A and B are shown apart, each in its own frame.
Chain A
């Protein structure tokens, strides 16, 4: 286990790194079930959440994770518009660092934004989602959820369905699941398949029915209407739901004990049928709980030694 400075991507990780973080997260999960959900691991540390894109869940999850570890948190949320006015990301970070921050958690619309600030600050940087690149803590929490449910990730067959092109979750999930020995099949409208996605190790299967066949887990991705710009990549939400949404009929083609995951927030009735939202095979809320534990593990790993 090498000493990691930042968590910028799953691409930078080795299998042992993920295993270590998952085992740490399992321990922290126990903390979350205590009546007093707090440990003093990061007392006196200040964690700065830089959320340049709207986010409720991820931002709250990081804040809670930090507070459970007794760290102080401050957050800034900025809309894209102020960046367009020429606000300089590097300046913003250097200014906050000068106020003696200990860690940056960043979400930004530009791919590579976390890498950019990691290059200019001495503080650890955690990527909470950069453009259409990666969302590493989401992949870790998905791994944790699968590990807890199935006991092991190796050998699982995971189908990821939807807007792969705009999904940082898909990229991080594919990389993490492949590292952990799962099989990844991706499906969705061909207009939403990135070129040469096989380079990440996933197999493309444009026929959704074929893609979900014998799967252990289906990860539905959110249609990211805000990222599409230009011409719509599919004719209508109605058509999307009919051909690419996860319906009970499609779900019945998976293995009997298969589960459904979704990074949220769900466009109900588009990528996921409402009937499937609240069945026991749907692990969406387990994912959310895993999220806090995984983020505690990441924060503790990057900051505890400092």
Chain B
């Protein structure tokens, strides 16, 4: 088991609101002591100098796609968890749109057990709201929750019928569980390949108006209000959605939301040249939307950052834009993109780490392993200045569908510890 001394590192822990330079002693995988004045016992040879580094609780991503079971050629639980810890995440929530979809207790258990077998990270599955993601019949919420799922979503597809969404929200109250909305009014997005606006007109591609998301966000907020259930809005990308969620929160609706790094880093302009690596759903929006997302992160209206890590093989991206699949990988680029907000003076360090730890933990209602004496070692060490270029060769994900491929990024996790062991260490 791990014996390690980390000397004088900047500990940024939103759970205890600490941001201070301190040292940590880990003996036998457990945090033995934390303090400014402690020193390495002579028996511990493994010492890390924390100068210039940050230590945070293990990061958490409540929206990703691991593709197993069924589409292992894109990613599997082994490669997905490796990519996650390389990106600093020790807790990840895979969405249920696998083949078959995770709509029952046995698939939920399969994902958890397979995840545990690699001993790298905690995979807490999100199961389908409806059987087969068909939007018709509710899944067995009680049984699935008892098997370890932490929320329900038909992510990738919205629950089209408002009365089914209402049923799901009502039934969720028996278990006080979370319903996650993929907010999209399908009749407005049909055939669309990117955001509708200036760039879709220039490129001659069919667009998806931002109203498509706004309408669905409002519908689900009203249904949450009607039923008193807990609702989480996935991948918020529009200015109006942020405003609707702010208003709902102000009047006491139990709603939370997330955004993904690409929505605060890129705009529809990234699609120019028919770049399928910038194609995702919801699509990249305008600069005005991007700014509203950043404001939402600053004001706390957006509760957390989730990657929406969505691996696709090259076959599904090297083709005509309209035929290309939606989605980009996100585990390994999330931290540097988040750090950009700190460098631009938009967020302080503690607020950024909050969005990757305490924020998502509060949304799904779990208490992760704290960074304190007596706990098993679970944390992420980040070098905020370390530059790197994600390439096909260096990414840990099986897929490399990211608009940041071959682009220089700054800041990244250099060491990730989980359950008392180092599960990732950058060479």
Contacts and interface: CB of A to CB of B under 8 A. Distances in A.
Contact of A195 (B191, B196, B320): B196
B320 A113 contact: yes
B106 to A, nearest CB: 32
Given A90-B318, A132-B206, A230-B191, A195 B201 contact: yes
Given A111-B322, A113-B320, A116-B274, A196 B204 contact: no
A183 to B, nearest CB: 19
A110 B201 contact: no
A189 interface: no
A274 interface: no
B48 interface: no
B43 to A, nearest CB: 59
B204 A130 contact: yes
A200 B202 CA distance: 7
Interface-central residue, B200, B202, B319, B321, by most chain A CB under 10 Å: B202
Contact of B321 (A90, A111, A229): A111
Contact of A133 (B204, B209, B319): B204
30 contacts: A11-B202, A90-B319, A110-B320, A110-B322, A110-B323, A111-B203, A111-B204, A111-B274, A112-B205, A112-B274, A112-B321, A112-B322, A115-B274, A116-B321, A131-B204, A131-B205, A131-B322, A133-B203, A133-B204, A171-B204, A194-B200, A195-B201, A196-B197, A196-B198, A197-B201, A199-B198, A199-B201, A199-B202, A200-B201, A230-B190
A196 B209 CA distance: 12
Contacts of A196: 197-198, 201
Given A112-B274, A195-B196, A230-B190, A89 B204 contact: no
Interface of B: 190-191, 196-198, 200-207, 209, 273-274, 318-323
Contacts of B190: 230
Q: Which among A111, A131, A132, A134 has the greatest number of chain B C-beta atoms within 10 A?
A: A111
Contacts of B200: 194-195
Interface in A144-200: 168, 171, 194-197, 199-200
A34 to B, nearest CB: 38
Nearest to B201: A194
A108 interface: yes
Contact of B207 (A113, A195, A229): A195
B325 to A, nearest CB: 14
Interface residues of A, number: 26
Given A199-B198, A229-B191, A116 B320 contact: yes
A88 interface: yes
Between B198, B203, B209, B273, the greatest number of chain A beta carbons within 10 A of the residue's beta carbon is seen for: B203
Contacts of B196: 195
Interface string A108-136: 10111101100000000000001111100
Contacts of B198: 195-196, 199
Interface of A: 11, 88-90, 108, 110-113, 115-116, 130-134, 168, 171, 194-197, 199-200, 229-230
A194 B196 CA distance: 9
A115 B318 CA distance: 12
B5 to A, nearest CB: 51
Interface centre among B197, B200, B274, B323 (most CB of A within 10 A): B274
A89 B201 contact: no
A182 B128 CA distance: 56
Nearest to A170: B204
A132 B204 contact: yes
Nearest to B202: A199
Contacts of A108: 320
B202 A89 contact: no
A101 B160 CA distance: 50
A168 B321 CA distance: 16
Nearest to A84: B323
Contacts of B274: 111-112, 115-116
Given A134-B204, A230-B190, A112 B320 contact: yes
A116 B201 contact: no
A108 B204 CA distance: 13
A88 to B, nearest CB: 7
Interface centre among A90, A112, A134 (most CB of B within 10 A): A112
Nearest to A120: B318
A111 B206 CA distance: 9
Nearest to B323: A110
